[in-house]
Amino acid sequence: MIRSEVKAVIEEARSKSADTLSFSRALLLRLNAPTPDANVSLLQQDMQNHEEWVARIVDILTGANIPARMTHVLRLVDGSKHASLTPWIEVYANDGWQPVNPQTAEPGIPKEAIVWHVGKGPVLDVNGGRFPKAEYSVTRHAQEMTLVAEQRARQMGSKIMEFSLFSLPVQTQNVYRVLLLTPVGAFLIVFMRNVVGFKTFGTFMPILIALAFRETKLLWGMVLFTLVVSLGLAIRFYLEYLKLLLVPRLASVLTIVILLMAVVSLLTHKLGIDRGVSVALFPMVIMTMTVERMALVWEEAGPLEALQQGFGSLLMAALAFVIMSDSVMRHMVFVFPELLLIVLAANLLLGRYTGYRLTELWRFRAALRQE
């Protein structure tokens, strides 16, 4: 009965198209025109709902030798309840199924929607029952991309994830989340010492202090570090009058540092300052060596040099803490530990650097002006 009307609509759409996809869009625009003509009005008769109309459009496309099928998409709107599927159209063009909006003829599907069902058949089929009905509820759930990648690798049968850090126990993973950041902090110290010219007490002391700042937080960590080192340095100068040998003197300084840390923890706890209790997380051996090294530099090069190296070490520890606490840095280094090879290459390059340091350019600025 409607063969002539279908033929007329197809011929009109074919005259305005150049390929399969353009023909399908032209046909959809023709069938969904705001003011349909007599042919389209006749095709729209006896349509009970939108899904039946989409099924008829698919039949018309099929009659025009255009591979087409009906799909159902689910719009992912957070918090929606009793949601239903929306009928859609897919046309085979350009070596693949191309989704097209059956109402507006726009290609693709909405960004917040997914294809849930393909075909004209019912989504839910019940044996021995009547009036089946499927409803959908949508809620947003955040999931880490690393977990998604791990699940996908297992589904694909890939063995790469079996040799990644994610295959380790959770406690061991947490340890490596900290350890893998240590080379990054070490590279910062190397750069600031060899290129910029900052003075520090060794290379690893600022890094270990920065790791302790992760628990004490930066401001309180700097205050507690300065307090313990200052008190330990004052007592270390008193031990100088006893003319002790090196090893007994280091053991004595270690004992004094531990006692000072305990006293600071007790006093801050009594004062209601809970952050002060975290002073016990400082590496006591490193604190001992810092006090000893600072006392030796004080005696050999004077208080100015000792204070410069002391505050330089504290500043480097603060910078290392900021970099090592960055969430993006932690994620990248743990998920892609091979990035440490780039850090290694940078360390090797800086190991061959023999140029001026930036502080030396300032130091010899008068000679450079004369030159």
pLDDT at residue 211, as a whole number: 82
Among 101-105, 137-141, 236-240, 253-257, which is the least confidently predicted range?
Answer: 137-141
pLDDT at residue 145, as a whole number: 67
- Residue predicted with more confidence, 45 or 223: 223
pLDDT at residue 216, as a whole number: 77
**Average pLDDT in the 102-123 region?**
82
pLDDT above 90: residue 200:
no
pLDDT at residue 344, as a whole number: 94
Q: 120 pLDDT band (50/70/90 cuts)?
A: confident
The model's pLDDT over 85-99, given as tens digits with 9 standing for 90+, comes to 888 888 888 788 888
Mean pLDDT (the chain, rounded)? 82
74 has which bridge partners? 114
pLDDT at residue 342, as a whole number: 94
Q: 346 pLDDT band (50/70/90 cuts)?
A: very high
**Average pLDDT in the 206-219 region?**
82
pLDDT at residue 59, as a whole number: 84
- Residue predicted with more confidence, 51 or 333: 333
pLDDT at residue 347, as a whole number: 92
The model's pLDDT over 46-64, given as tens digits with 9 standing for 90+, comes to 777 788 888 888 888 888 8
**Average pLDDT in the 115-125 region?**
80
Q: What is the pTM of this model?
A: 0.58
Quote the CA–CA distance of 196 and 199 in Å, as a whole number. Answer: 9
